[in-house]
Amino acid sequence: MKYSFKIFSVFGIPVELHITFLVLMLLIYIVAFFKIIPSINLLTAVLITLVFATVVIHELSHSYLAKRYGIRIERIVLLPIGGLSEMEEIPKDPAQELRIALAGPVSNLVIALISYIVLIIFGSFLSIVLSGALYYFIIVNLLLGLFNLLPAFPMDGGRILRAFLAERMSFIKATKLAASIGKQFAIIMAVIGVFFNFLLILIAIFVYIGADAEYKSVVVSTLLGDEMVKDIMTTDVHTLTPEDTVQETLKTMFREKHMGYPVTDDGKLVGIITFDDISKIPENERDMLIKDIMTRELILSDPNEDLVETIGKLNKNRIGRVPVVKNGEIVGIVSKTDITNTLQKKELKLD
């Protein structure tokens, strides 16, 4: 994830802090130190820090169990909305996913229980302020644990529900049903939020988007997991030369209705030109050659590359197409349209 930096590692898993999280914590401590908001003091700031520490423990609980099952964890990123464990893959074994999903909420409930025992035993020795702070810490952990058990992605409850359903149907159908339940849950939450609390509407939006993203991610990884680039790439590729002018290229784009073309020189791929590149050129300068404005730093794919890996390149670099190259020569091109068409055909077979 962009704009995050590593702060430490646990179990060999890098824990990173997103810049927005750092800004938030700095603001909280500045507000507390200078008493800008009377209700937020240094003790409150420390408590908020401890809450985020429990978020780390929550995510590490997921990650530790996932590692035990042989799943590689890329990293854990701390965001203002909580933590995010980046797993290499989603466990397809329902029993494994169930245990991994439960590990996070259980860790919060265990922390709440331990804190409650400490409060019972040592409460009489603590000041009213510290007792109140510990009580607040218990409540927060209980809420975090229970909230994450709600049956909706991206919360752990959505994964628990999918694991339960996956014992009775295919993984992708279980994901579709769990995501649908999550979306309905989000709609109900938003309606309640209209009448009671605006924050519920924001959470509902987060849940709805998360459920949709989870389903799409599983569809891609499941339906296209065995596909290679050569299976869906377009092999009849129209290429341009570095000596073509901007005006000529623009006419080609309008005529053939393609917004990007590979540029080759003696059969070798040397660049790519897109409508976005051309649209920046003033009309009176469109006699210039495309070699002067084409993109030379290329994101490429190989015919034998896994299609899911290529999709990752498209999404990461926010591009619409990737040239497919073998021995320096272009042999095809893969676009988001090709991928979407392939997905739609496979989804129809499911139904």
* Percent of all residues in the chain with a pLDDT value above 90, rounded to a whole number: 5
User: Would you state the pLDDT for residue 129?
Assistant: 67
User: Would you state the pLDDT for residue 82?
Assistant: 63
The full set of domains in the chain, from first to last, is: 1-149 (no CATH), 151-223 (no CATH), 229-350 (3.10.580.10)
Q: Which residues contact 291 (CB under 8 A, 6 or more apart)?
A: 242, 243, 263, 270, 271
Instruction: Look up 329 and say whether it is catalytic.
Output: no
User: Would you state the pLDDT for residue 75?
Assistant: 80
pLDDT digit string (tens) for 133-174? Answer: 788 888 888 988 888 888 887 788 888 998 999 888 888 888
User: Would you state the pLDDT for residue 109?
Assistant: 93
User: Would you state the pLDDT for residue 88?
Assistant: 66
- The length of the chain in residues reads 351
Catalytic residue among 59, 97, 214, 227: 59
Residues of the chain with pLDDT under 50: none
- The CA distance from 35 to 325, in Å, is 61
Q: Measure Cα distances from 50 to 18, 141, 145, 293 in Å.
A: 17, 10, 15, 52
Say if residue 154 is preceded by a cis peptide, omega within 30 of 0: yes
Closest CA to 204 of 176, 226, 184: 184
- The CA distance from 76 to 82, in Å, is 10
Closest CA to 25 of 4, 49, 47, 51: 49
- The answer to whether 82 and 39 have CB atoms below 8 angstroms apart is no
User: Would you state the pLDDT for residue 234?
Assistant: 82
- Name the one residue in this structure whose structure tokens are 């914590």: 25
User: Would you state the pLDDT for residue 148?
Assistant: 85
